[in-house]
Structure 1
Amino acid sequence: MNDELRHELLALADEDQHVRKAAGERAGPGEEIPDDLAREWARVDGRNTARLAEVVGEHGWPTRSLVGDDGANAAWLLAQHADRNLDRQKRFLDLMRAAVAANEASAVDLAYLTDRVATHAGQPQIYGTQLRPGPDGRLTAYPIADSDMVDQRRAALGLDPLVDYIAASQQR
């Protein structure tokens, strides 16, 4: 295991979450994030995306064997938030897909990244992990491909039924 890389990924993920928590504390649901925090958020995401691309170039996808479960989860989080660079995010998705096939990354994390990339590309999601406020302010899933089967796909990964996921997310 590469402990140095693991610790770096964990630190980057901590910073990712710190800026999002700060934004959540200063802007309520449906409110605009203050400009200073929006700029910081974009800076953190841009830097983290670039660094993850460097890591991938040097080591390949950060797998469980390379950086442990928590390090692999941190790499996924950085990829999940690489929204400003869809091409890189798609590349991360391809690499993570191969890692999951080798049991070197989380299938649940892959489901979230799959849906994130799909929604940002204007495509329907597969697992219903990506939510947005509806007209009434309540959370609703972005469009889902073959939505009648979404709970079966979610169950295959150990995810709760979509209605339960939305209800739990609404309470956060």
Structure 2
Amino acid sequence: MFKNLITTLSLCLLLFSCINHDPYGTKGLSKLSPEEVMEITLNNLGKESKRPVYRFHSGKVASLDSLSKYDPLKWGYDYYANMDDEIQVIVLRKPTREDTLFQRKLMVAIKQKLRPKVELIDIDCNDIDKMLARILFMNQENRASAKIDESIEFENLTKVVSILENCGMPTVEEVGQNGVNTVWLIIQHADPSYRTKYFSMFVEAAKRGDLQQRKIAVMEDRINQDSGEPQLYGSQIIFNESTGKMEVYTLQDPKNVNLRRAKVGLEPMEVYVKQFGIDY
């Protein structure tokens, strides 16, 4: 009887050991790097595939219903895939700052890929001042509402991209300062690819004196954030899920940031960040 008890205990310990060594069900799977997660996720958008199993750090399965109640940025994620690059298990844990930055980048990339591509429309290049005035009005009305209408955003983007492609970057002489600023504003709020594509046009406009240098600085910061690079001028502010506070997105050479800001007409960081409740 004592021997049977020992055997039973040994089997229980062995079973517990097996379970304990694979609490997430990831045996035989590979943990993915952020770059691999990005590539696999974007490649599989729109394809039918088995949903991965979500597990809390404790190993308990997390239902999709329970997860839908939370902001996706509340968590950090570890992704595990099989040999066919199919994500099988996603482990949820406390997020790091890097997790939050990557998750934002992933969400933007998904949104960009799912959004319909802009198809150019015919533009009368001699009448774009009126079109830009209408775009500015629609943009202001849309962003003042409780929920942004994506169809209006896309309509405005289509018109501005068509202007840039068919007529080039308009000048202040052609459309006024508000017109030039409107083109910048729509592209600044568009998907990352548009900022990258048309950035050189805005730089040339600034050299002509048609656009403020500080707008170029803010767009450059946004482009750097899009690509996961440090910003230069400190204009991009993010929410840190782990601390529950706003903070300055990663900054290159922080000691000299105010010198760079002064050169492009931006106020000192200490003044700028106060509106976000940040002490600098």
**TM bucket by the smaller chain?**
0.7 to 0.9
Name the CA distance, whole Å, in 1 between partners of 2:196 and 2:220: 9
Is the Cα contact below 8 Å between 1:125 and 1:143 reproduced in 2?
yes
Change (3 A) 1:3 1:92: same
Name the CA distance, whole Å, in 1 between partners of 2:131 and 2:244: 37
2:203 pairs with 1:80: no
How far does residue 55 in structure 1 lie from its aligned partner after superposition? Answer: 0.3
Name the CA distance, whole Å, in 2 between partners of 1:53 and 1:160: 31
How far does residue 64 in structure 1 lie from its aligned partner after superposition? Answer: 1.6
Alignment length, in residue pairs? 153
1:28 paired residue number: none
Which has the larger share of helix? 1
Change (3 A) 1:155 1:142: same
Is the Cα contact below 8 Å between 2:234 and 2:249 reproduced in 1?
yes
2:263 paired residue number: 156
Q: CA RMSD in A?
A: 2.2
2:249 pairs with 1:142: yes
Q: Secondary structure at the match of 1:145?
A: coil
1:94 paired residue number: 200
How far does residue 19 in structure 1 lie from its aligned partner after superposition? Answer: 2.1
How far does residue 87 in structure 1 lie from its aligned partner after superposition? Answer: 2.1
Is the Cα contact below 8 Å between 1:3 and 1:67 reproduced in 2?
no
Cα offsets for 1:40-64 (capped at 9, x unmatched): 1x32222222211110112211222
Q: Secondary structure at the match of 2:145?
A: helix
Cα offsets for 1:65-96 (capped at 9, x unmatched): 2211111111111111112xx22221221110
Alignment of 1:18-167 (within 5 A): 18-23=141-146, 37=147, 40=149, 42-83=150-191, 86-135=192-241, 136-167=243-274
Unaligned runs of 5+ in 2: 1-124
Change (3 A) 1:5 1:170: farther
Q: Secondary structure at the match of 1:159?
A: coil
- In structure 2, give the amino acid aligned to 1:151: N
Is the Cα contact below 8 Å between 1:139 and 1:166 reproduced in 2?
no
Q: Secondary structure at the match of 2:238?
A: strand
How far does residue 6 in structure 1 lie from its aligned partner after superposition? Answer: 2.2
- In structure 2, give the amino acid aligned to 1:148: K
Which has the larger share of strand? 2
Change (3 A) 1:169 1:75: farther
Greater RCO structure (CA 8 Å; 6+ sep)? 1
Larger Rg: 2
TM-score, with length taken from structure 1: 0.77
1:11 paired residue number: 134
Change (3 A) 1:150 1:61: same
Name the CA distance, whole Å, in 2 between partners of 1:122 and 1:45: 25
Is the Cα contact below 8 Å between 1:128 and 1:162 reproduced in 2?
yes
Cα offsets for 1:123-167 (capped at 9, x unmatched): 221111111223454432211222221111111122111121111
Identity %: 25
Is the Cα contact below 8 Å between 2:221 and 2:236 reproduced in 1?
yes
Name the CA distance, whole Å, in 1 between partners of 2:174 and 2:246: 37
